Amino acid sequence: MKAAIQKDRITAKLDLQEYLERFRSFMARPGHVAMQGDGSVHIRFINALSKTEFPEPPQLRENEEALAKLSKQGVLRLHEIFNFVQMVFYFNRLRACELPEPAGSWIREIEIAPEIAEIASFFTPEGRLDSAKEPELAEIETALERNRDGMRETLRSISSERRVQDYLVDTQVHLHNGEETLLLRGGFSSVIKGSVVGRSSAGFFYVLPERLRRMKETEAELLHRREDIILRYCMEFSRTMHRWVRFLRFLDNSFERFDHYQARVRFARAFDYEFILPCRGKDVILEEFVHPALERGVPVSISLKKRVMLITGVNAGGKTMLLKSILSAVYMSRHLLPFRCNPSKTSIGRFAKIEAIIDDPQSVKNDISTFAGRMLEFSRLFRIKDALVGVDEIELGTDADEAASLFRVLIDELKKRGITFVVTTHHKRLASLMAGDEDVELVAALFDEERRLPTYTYLQGSIGKSYAFETAERYGIPVPVVQKARALYGEDRERLNELIESSTRLEREMRMKIASLEEESKELQRRYRALEKTEEKMREEQRKILETLENRYNAATKRALAALKKVENAEARRLLNEAHRHKSRVRNKKSKEKSRPVEFKKGERVKYRSHTAEILSLKEKEAFISLDGMKMRVPLSELKALPDAVAKLKSQSRIDSIRVEKSDRAPLHIKLLGMRVDEAMEALDDFISNSLLHGLSEVEIIHGTGTGALARAVSEQLKRHPRVKNFYRVPGNMGATIAQL
């Protein structure tokens, strides 16, 4: 209960309550949103259901009370039994849908017990007992319907009598408290006998005529007999369900699990949301994220890769919303709830706990000051570990300079407990104290000075100006009052603000230019690839045309020779020989052009297969190249020249390069024991590359015996490697493989 209250507080602080209510509206049994178990398993089922259509589940009640009754051999009411029957009906419908894997296999494994299926066969889709299964019940239903028709006919007959019409308010039959009655004026007793069952707001009487009393008694008797039959079936069904109570609990849990899956899938479809599964580590990278509480919010792209994010800048400019966005994204990812973002570039780490210190804790009830409340909330953080904590306006309630020093130390101490902080502040003292810390990410909320409005965009790596005076003017404070405040604030501090603002603007412009250059680089590379494809296409077309022309030439010369055999002609023979000489000269020219070697230079960018490489040195018919940080020796015939513009562009646009330095010694073997397959394959690639650099011709890979999975993975990797000539297992089941390079 305490944990549930804590979750509600978190969702309220993060403005997620309306979002969660929308999500619960898609559930068959609205309740808690958390799912127990491995999220990576759950996401497989969610992704499978996202690829198909499936029936919407019925709205059901909780079955905990009914299951408790069954475990104690209690008798369930008909609607409680039908609640389980509806689950049976729904799983049967799902089995007929042929859901994609792994959802299909899971649903097929839920086999309904024959006795439970038999109970379900007694119910109609509306939840009543099927009268076709019980003849006596069918007779009772028929008798009830006949009796009700008789009652309605009797009422119509009475209302049509002339002496009664003077007392009728209207000629309708009124249903009052479940009784079919006539609405009469006062004094009706002189013309009709009956009992008054109620009065209208206008003072008229709802009267049940005496002639209907016998029919009412008949109806009551029939209803009593029907209730006896229903009770008998409820007792019989409950005895059977008691024997299958464990299966029914399993069925209930399976329905709840599927309900969570289907609700998430339908919710994501309805709002075009994406699922982000938490990954290892503590990094939070959001791309085009929009908080669910904002219908038309500005998409946020931000990355939290350090232990502290300090958000500064404009008042009412989105600092708090950025804090809530980061915490909300972690909360939703943790519970596999979908949201709006760019899924290919968004990743969210795992945190055991989420805390939000956002509200002002001061109140009359708790008799506590704002700052004291903040200290109380921070003291609780010393009892938790591995948490993501958001703190809004961290110096709230006390002197900013004193608070900056205090909170700097508090954050440093709490970082040691594995706590990651997202902090907002509009005071520069704390920002200046923490700016030099490598574990601190500075973020500035940006402001549009021309329109005097916040942009709700952010710049990482900078301290933002608060724009307090501009914000005051925007919200209606008279300009002369703001000017007096500026004068009181002081020219030196205003100049410092201008320097901060200028620095932020220059960094923003620099990043925009870098982004523009990167876009231009990508566009040039795209055009180059398009030109390459066009060139290959044209060469293929040229080859086909030449083949066609050569075929036509050969056919023509054959016909000419055949004609010359019949009738010799000296001029025709001379022209034919001249054509042969022209063809020979063209062939010789092509062969010379083809055999002419391309001259490469040291440091030149060239194309090797589908990659771009750099020539480090040349030797006769071989070149020593650098390819993606790996050095290798390749034949010159396998290298192709790049166009000058592209080679120059790639040389200039390269900011960082990975260099592999050759050490004096290289190991002759590598041990992969105890590694996971993916780690082992990465280590094996590095080992082979290092061995090739040092000119080793034979190396040993020690992988052990174990289950054999690692040995098989090593063999597959060696088969695929282009520089491995041969490999074989060391005889005697020694758990090692020899590779020849």
Nearest Cα neighbor of 309 from 511, 149, 459 is 459
The dihedral built from the CA positions of residue 221, 225, 230 and 231, taken in this order, carries a sign that is: positive
**Distance between CA atoms of residues 437 and 88, nearest Å:** 60
User: For position 236, what pLDDT does the model report?
Assistant: 95
Res. 654: pLDDT tops 50: no
CA distance 240 to 535: 78
| pLDDT value of position 448 | 66
Residues 6+ apart with CB under 8 A from 230: 78, 129
The dihedrals phi and psi of 350, each to the nearest 5 degrees, come to -100, 135
39 CB-near residues (< 8 Å, 6+ apart): 277, 278, 336
Question: Which of 342-346, 431-435, 709-713 has the least mean pLDDT?
Answer: 431-435
Of the candidates 709, 708, 707, 689, the residue with the CA atom closest to the CA atom of residue 699: 689
Under 8 Å between Cβ of 298 and 445: no
Q: How far is CA 672 from CA 23, 694, 697, 704, 705, in A?
A: 47, 21, 20, 8, 11
CA distance 597 to 140: 103
Strands 174-176 and 179-184: antiparallel
| Most confident segment among 161-170, 491-500, 570-579, 730-739 | 161-170
Mean of per-residue pLDDT scores for the chain:
81
Q: Per residue in 102-140, pLDDT tens?
A: 999 999 999 999 999 999 999 998 998 988 888 888 888
Please answer whether residues 714 and 683 qualify as being in contact, where contact means their C-beta atoms are separated by less than 8 angstroms.
no
Who has greater pLDDT, 230 or 460?
230
Q: Is 177 helix (H, G, I), strand (E, B) or coil?
A: coil
Overall average pLDDT of the 210-216 stretch: 82
Beta bridge partners of 612: 607
pLDDT score, position 661: 42
Quick one: pLDDT at residue 645? 42
- Taking each helix axis as running N to C, give the angle between helix 213-243 and helix 135-159, from 0 to 180 degrees, rounded to the nearest 10: 150
* Average pLDDT over every residue of 158-174: 83
Whether 390 and 420 have beta carbons less than 8 Å apart is answered as: no
Fold adopted by 605-653: SH3 type barrels. (2.30.30)
Query: Euclidean distance between the first and final Cα of the chain, in Å?
Result: 64
Three-state DSSP class for residue 633: strand
The answer to which of 37-51, 294-308, 684-698 has the lowest mean pLDDT is: 684-698
Residue 3's pLDDT band (boundaries 50, 70, 90)?
very low
Per the rule left: phi > 0, alpha: psi between -120 and 50, beta: everything else, 454 is beta
pLDDT band at 649 (very low <50, low <70, confident <90, very high): very low
Average pLDDT over residues 342-362: 87
Q: How confident is the model at residue 501 (pLDDT cuts 50, 70, 90)?
A: low
According to the model, what pLDDT value does residue 628 have? 67
Give the separation between CA 492 and CA 496, rounded to whole angstroms: 6
Do 78 and 234 touch, CB atoms closer than 8 A?
yes
Strands 698-702 and 669-671: parallel
Q: CA Rg, the chain, in Å? A: 42
Quick one: pLDDT band at residue 584, thresholds 50, 70, 90? Answer: low
pLDDT of residue 492: 46
pLDDT per position as a tens digit, 264-323:
999 999 999 999 999 988 999 999 999 998 888 889 999 999 999 988 876 665 788 889
Q: What are phi and psi of 477, to 5 degrees?
A: -70, 130
Beta-carbon contacts of 26 under 8 Å, excluding residues fewer than 6 positions away, are 262, 263, 264, 266, 267, 270
With the C-alpha atoms ordered 553, 554, 559, 565, is the resulting torsion angle positive or negative?
Answer: positive
Bridge partners for 129 per DSSP: 123
pLDDT at 655 over 50: no
pLDDT at 617: 86
329 close to 289: Cβ distance less than 8 angstroms: yes
Q: How far apart are CA 217 and CA 221, in angstroms?
A: 6
Report d(CA 151, CA 219) in Å as an integer: 10
Band of the pLDDT at 588, cuts 50, 70, 90? low
Does residue 2 have a pLDDT over 60? no
Quick one: average pLDDT of 520-534?
Answer: 84
Specify the CATH architecture of the domain 284-477: 3-Layer(aba) Sandwich (3.40)
Q: For the stretch 606-630, what's the b/e string if a residue is b when 16 or more beta carbons lie within 10 angstroms of its beta carbon?
A: bbbeeebbbbeebeeeebebbeeeb
What does the alpha-carbon distance between residue 728 and residue 726 come to, in Å, rounded to a whole number? Answer: 7
Q: State residue 331's pLDDT score.
A: 95
Answer whether residue 610 shows pLDDT above 60.
yes
* Overall average pLDDT of the 382-388 stretch: 92
Assigned token pair, 189: 């007793």
Answer whether residue 660 shows pLDDT above 80.
Answer: no
Q: Which amino acid is at 141?
A: E
| 123 in Cβ contact with 227 (< 8 Å) | no
Q: Which helix (DSSP H) or strand (DSSP E) does residue 699 occupy?
A: strand 698-702
- Quick check: 475 and 481 in contact, CB under 8 A? no
Q: Which two tokens stand for residue 229?
A: 């039959």
Domain 669-740 belongs to what architecture? 2-Layer Sandwich (3.30)
Q: What is the pLDDT of residue 524?
A: 85
Q: What is the mean pLDDT of residues 166-171?
A: 84
The reported pLDDT for the residue numbered 283 is 93
Same CATH topology for 284-477 and 605-653: the answer is no
Greatest mean pLDDT among 9-13, 346-350, 507-511, 735-739 lies in: 346-350
Q: Are strands 194-199 and 630-635 parallel, antiparallel or unpaired?
A: unpaired
Higher-scoring residue by pLDDT: 589, 37? 37
Whether omega for the bond prior to residue 102 falls within 30 degrees of 0, making it cis, is yes
Domain ranges of the chain: 2-113+244-271, 132-230, 284-477, 514-575, 605-653, 669-740
Residue 632, classed as helix, strand or coil, is: strand
Q: Which of 205-209, 347-351, 625-629, 690-694 has the highest mean pLDDT?
A: 347-351
Categorize the per-residue pLDDT at 343 as very low, low, confident or very high, splitting at 50, 70 and 90: very high
User: Region 469-480: what's the mean pLDDT?
Assistant: 63
pLDDT band at 24 (very low <50, low <70, confident <90, very high): very high
Tell me the CATH class for 132-230.
mainly alpha
